[in-house]
Chain A
Amino acid sequence: MNPSLKLAWVVLLALELSFTQVWTVNVVLIVICLALMIWRRVAIKRLLWLTGVPLFFASALVWSLTLQGSASHHFLIVIFTRMFVYVYLGGLFTQTTDPLTLTRSLEQNAHLPAKFAYGFLAAFNLMPKIKAEVASIKAAALMRGQVLHVWSPQLYFKAILTAMHWSDQLSLAMVSHGFVEGAPRTHAAVIPLRHRDWWLTGGSLVLIQVGLFIGLP
């Protein structure tokens, strides 16, 4: 499926489900997402993570709401399943979409400015370097007797300082590699936006609307 449409589909659904309270639709979506992820061969370990983490938070939320005693049974089920829908929709999107294809699609199909699309991609590709830098900052602090935690502002101050330097360097490199903001570019790979993609997106959205309508209490 076209990555830009897939992104729009996921965002639209998540938004809509925040305002509706039909748990059957939630369950159906969970099953579909899970099935699609298994079909697309997402690693079992990843799936367990995607299940375990929301399970913890959803249970904690439901437990605290039960203790409070004011929430209805129906509402608790909706809240519980909603958490899974969010995580699974996100999981389905990230696990089945290649960042480069998404970038190209955002540029070609969604007509996002190329500077934004590729700037994001460059930062994404720097991830391993960013991780190493954070380890370096933490080590430098330890050598001075200071322990920096994930929540220490100093860690972020240093990381942002480095990131600013890198982003300057990266943008110079992009310019030096012929990138001109707003200039036309050719496309080594064309990301198709087929009729099928539109039908699939539209059709599934309509089905969900019907489900939501029927399931209304």
Chain B
Amino acid sequence: MAVVNVTHLTYHYAHQSKPVLNDLNVTFPTGKFSLLTGASGGGKSTLLKLMAGLMPLSDTGTITYDGRPWSSIPAGQRSQTVAMLFQEPSLQFTMDTVENECRFVLENLQVDPATMPDRIAASLAFIGITALRHRNLMTLSGGEQQKVALAIIVAMDSDVILLDEPFASIDPIARQVLLDKLVALCTDHGKTIVLADHDLSGYAEWVDHLAVLEHGQVNLLSPSETQARFANFTPAKLAIHPAMPRPTNPIVLQGSQIRLYQGDRDLIKPQNLAFYEHKTTLITGPNGSGKSTLFRALVRLGHYQGTFNYHETNIQKIRQRRYARQVSLMFQTAAAQFLNVTVAEELALSLKYGRTKDFPSERIDQLLERLDLSGRHDQVLYSLSSGQQKKLQLLCMLIMAPPVLLLDEPFKGLDLASVTTVVAILREIQAEFKLTLILVSHQLSGLDDLVDYHLQLDHQHLQYVGVFHES
């Protein structure tokens, strides 16, 4: 049991002029489930890492556990005071199997080897994953990995459990299981839980005071304000009015008996699937349901069963080098797309092999200006903000202008003004080169003009939804 007290905490990153946390004060009470929310890049991760002692405090401020500063807790007891569950499920394990990871953790805590098997069995049973005990961690799905990570924290018996967007890539069912276990941990076992999430659905029952991190400070909302926030947070409203595709529409990509899977779990059960030429198709569905997996299969980066035909030719039979220029993917993480160091080099690469004639330097400058990226030619890509990276990534892919462009969350981390600009540019370039766009997006406002068709992924099945138009 521990109360976490954060007082007058200020934190500066070396390369930023403004502090990300500014004289922040907050208390997280024992046995409570605290939900921390705020814009992405607003400092939620920084606060959690500082609380977990994973980053040293830099400027001013103190963080105490039951009045004891983290630094005064003996090193061997720190992980039993506070433990953290990370956003990326696969990067939090040292060992190969679930059991070996549990052993490693208990060895670190100097637990007597004789008591280890029982303790491991008990914590796996608590989370309901006894069957995973001897499985290899790398073969588990993201949801299963997060369950293992939570079971490990249970085995460590840490008083304070911090979770940094733990549900970002896992499916709704796994999310619900984890949420139930977390609630049991704080109500029945008196654990202090602080969870950072920007998706507020499903918490209304458990959270009294929503903690909002804004402008470097945490604001605790009153119960009525909190409930009002939750009520307002219905999953992004579909402000689009897509039509149903007509049977006569030309098809660019045709899948037959496509099955997508992760380990032994079906993401999409065998089905036929068509994508229509020169149209924009929006794919929606819950986190972890298989949208990115579908994209990876379409660009031949992932496994699938069945066949995909591109203009009637099986995509596996087309030369990789040629196919990559026909069907390209704008990756969800901008950094995955970049191959160089500076903005100018990255643009130059696209101009070298892309539609150079259609993009003279005046047009590039004009596009950069519209995207609010001008004057950054010599800047290192990785020092751009995530929104700037996203916009530059899009521009690089649009200069390539492949006949089919898949866009995985192209508006992630963009403010509304940027979304409007990006949508406008997408539409212009799509019309100019007759591109087929297929996009996955959680952000749905401002897309009505762009989207022709809407493909919904639900219960392991992809289906077009919309209204039928008389021709």
Contacts and interface: CB of A to CB of B under 8 A. Distances in A.
A174 B94 contact: yes
Interface stretch (B4-12, B16-24, B57-65, B96-104): B96-104
Given A100-B96, A176-B84, A188-B116, A143 B325 contact: yes
B83 A176 contact: yes
A68 B106 CA distance: 61
A67 interface: no
Given A100-B100, A183-B76, A144 B339 contact: yes
User: Taking each of A122, A144, A145, A172, which has the highest tally of chain B beta carbons within 10 Å of its own beta carbon?
Assistant: A144
Given A100-B100, A141-B339, A187-B113, A121 B90 contact: no
B406 to A, nearest CB: 10
B400 A178 contact: no
Given A185-B107, A186-B113, A178 B80 contact: yes
A51 interface: no
A175 interface: yes
A125 interface: yes
A125 B339 contact: no
B88 interface: yes
B320 interface: yes
Interface in A50-84: none
A143 B328 contact: yes
A178 B91 contact: no
B111 interface: yes
Contacts, number: 147
Nearest to B326: A143
A146 B94 contact: no
Interface of B is mostly: helix
B300 to A, nearest CB: 8
A176 B353 contact: no
Given A145-B400, A176-B52, A178-B108, A136 B100 contact: no
B301 A136 contact: yes
B104 A177 contact: yes
Interface string A75-113: 000000000000000000000000110000000000000
A118 B100 CA distance: 12
Interface residues of B, number: 63
Nearest to B117: A188
B228 interface: no
B177 interface: no
Given A122-B94, A158-B339, A180-B108, A145 B52 contact: no
B304 interface: no
Given A143-B324, A144-B339, A176-B54, A118 B94 contact: yes
Contact of B108 (A126, A158, A177): A177
Given A144-B396, A186-B113, A188-B106, A177 B76 contact: no
Contacts of A161: 335, 382
B402 interface: yes
Interface in A121-172: 121-122, 125-126, 128-129, 132, 135-137, 139-147, 154, 158, 161, 166, 169-170, 172
Contacts of B103: 188-189
B400 A125 contact: no
Interface residues of A, number: 44
A38 interface: no
A144 B400 contact: yes
Contact of B75 (A100, A118, A140, A183): A183
B152 interface: yes
Given A128-B138, A143-B328, A177-B105, A166 B91 contact: yes
B93 interface: yes
Contacts of B14: none
Interface string A171-209: 011111111100111111100000000000000000000
B86 A140 contact: no
12 contacts: A118-B104, A122-B95, A125-B96, A125-B137, A139-B324, A140-B339, A142-B320, A158-B339, A172-B49, A176-B83, A184-B110, A188-B116
* 6 shortest interchain CB distances as A-B pairs: A145-B353, A142-B324, A178-B79, A178-B108, A173-B92, A188-B103
Interface of A: 99-100, 118, 121-122, 125-126, 128-129, 132, 135-137, 139-147, 154, 158, 161, 166, 169-170, 172-180, 183-189
